[in-house]
Structure 1
Amino acid sequence: MYSKIQPPTKKISKESVKVWRMTEAITNLIILAVLGILLFVDDYFTWKEWIGWILNGLIVLSFFHAIWSIFIEPILLQKYWRYDVNEEFIQTKRGAWSETHELIPMTKVQSVKLNQGPFLRKYNLYSLSIGTMGDSHDIPAIPEKEAYELRDKIAHFAKIKEVD
């Protein structure tokens, strides 16, 4: 008979919301700038009328997408992201409307690495990437001390030897 696996309980850092907001703000500004330039070029070269309508529609859609991805989505991502690690499994759970539960057996783990971009570095956070034979699984925005401990714990449980 099997024992019931408890759902994961550890949360990612609340600072992740700031990181995701900055990333999304930059991405959306670039998209809106490109669309604005195309709209200017459309007006300057008097392209066909329907191109202007499409560009205006894309700008409106991009604006609503920016509101969603900058102000709402990061809060939901942080609120519903959970993870946990034990000797047998790495568990992740995410999603507000459509929940995704992942169980990664320790016997399938081949690599563990920490990633840190400029925005994560500003808040002293890391993303943990767990490599298996056919896939890669990420746990985003973990505080530095916890990230190193988690990496070492997974490496120990998976019997991975760190190469210097």
Structure 2
Amino acid sequence: MKLSVVQGDITRLPADAIVNAANESLLGGGGVDGAIHRAGGPEILAECREIRARQGGCPTGEAVVTTGGQLPARHVIHTVGPVWAGGASGEAELLAACYHNSLDRAEELGARQVAFPNISTGVYGYPKDRAAAIAVSTVKAYPARQVEEVVFVCFDAENFRLYQDLLAAD
């Protein structure tokens, strides 16, 4: 599996699937979640509402799939990252589960290219360096069958440099 990093707006990336750093309600929010909902249009929200009606939202660490709506990506994989609480409350395991379960959903879709934002590093307060290390190590260890490429899409320069350094270390 090829891993790369770009700095930019994940809503503009053509991919089989992009991952959304969602909240448990799946109804949109701030940061990347709000940007994906705004750019993707009402189809994404409608499918999120159907998922909520069926299963009551999305628990932390899990992942669900909707259409990409008006995005250049065909699908959105919504995952709920952990809120940072100091690191002793299972945050690392939950964050790793976000990446693993998102890749599971991508495999089920037959996606070849998947783009990830920096999950939990915004309002959820996860330290960027720790989150980047978990993201890269989890994706590298994933036994992909169909996913050929993972792109880490960093909105800010600090995350971009962290991912560049981690990917260059190989």
Please, what TM-score do these two structures have when normalized by structure 1? 0.26
* Structure of larger gyration radius: 1
Structure with greater helix percent: 1
Please, what TM-score do these two structures have when normalized by structure 2? 0.25
Higher relative CO (Cα under 8 Å, sequence separation at least 6) belongs to: 2
